[in-house]
Amino acid sequence: MESLVAKSVKLDPSFWNDKRVLLTGHTGFKGSWLSLLLARMGSEVTGLSLSPPSKPNLFELAGVQKSLSSQYIADINDYAKVKNVFLDTKPDVVIHLAAQSLVRRSYASPIETFSTNVLGTVHVLEAVRMAQPQVALFATTDKVYSQLGTRQPFRETDPLGGHDPYSASKAACEIAVESLRKSLLSEASTKVATARAGNVIGGGDWAEDRLLPDAIRAWSSGDVLTVRNPDSVRPWQHVLDCLAGYLVLVQGLWDGTVEQGAYNFGPRNGDDSTVSKTVELAQTVWGDKAQVDWQSRQVGPHESTTLLLNTDKATTTLGIEPRWTHEDAVTRTIRWYRGFYQGLAPRDLCEEDFAEFGLSK
């Protein structure tokens, strides 16, 4: 298979060789995948995170710690520890993934959500100001946009907002990054950007209240998956498409070929899908005993019915498009879990996805 589609810039493993990368949230789902990807391209990866957020988790199952140069188990709400990690490691690149990332949990824990997602991000920004890496990338979410009741895909210039605590905290995070980039970091050498990704899927995610992890928990135990809001539309994308986009953005910022600011990352325009279609495809790939209880009305706290992203900026400015379609992404995700529950090694399953994606060692 060909590598990531690229028009002007591509994911370049030679760029990442010997780069000192500080990755927050490295024990999470995306952080584990990104740690493996960076290490296989030759980066010296330092992780800064809380302990893995779920049982089971990809970080432990795939032996991600073995791929790290060093790691610090710490809370980004502890500024003294964050500052010391930055000063000790002197990173070339910072990628900030650490967050309270669950919408429904934010209703139960709003203080934790705002503290981690806003003040924690400010701690990282202040440490960036002191350590002055070449590039700092802050991952937020597609949910930072004000919900205007339209089915039009959101662009990076659309107003920020958020009905639920998680979305609002991430919108506030965007404002904090932009504010400090223009003020305290304006004369620093560090290039700063935010990445607003859609619904990221892939093998090894066991987080609570996420559609495909919920499906896998149910089906692997012979239980019925209860699906709320089957008609909701989301911009699903495979974790490798998301992470490849992040890294191409970092490369462009480093070289000065792309502007600082916000970038959407999601499926190709028009390749969004409903919850029901996503579940039905997952059922087909999983096979026997994949049972579903479809809820006919919205269940639980408020969540947006339709959320679409316009990714023209990433396509035009960065020169990239997603490698895998929605069908590809769901299929590969469920095959990963099937392999895991059949006894295959999680690290080998990740390596297979890297190879299929076109990311050679």
**Interacting residues of 9 by C-beta distance below 8 A, sequence separation 6+:** 248, 251, 252, 257, 258, 318, 319, 320
**Catalytic site includes residue 79:** no
Residue found by looking up tokens 């990963």 in the block: 336
Catalytic residue among 72, 107, 145, 166: 166
> How many Cα atoms sit within 13 Å of 263 on the Cβ side?
30
The count of residues in the chain is: 361
Instruction: For helices 326-341 and 346-357, give the axis angle rounded to 10 degrees.
Output: 160
Residues taking part in catalysis:
166
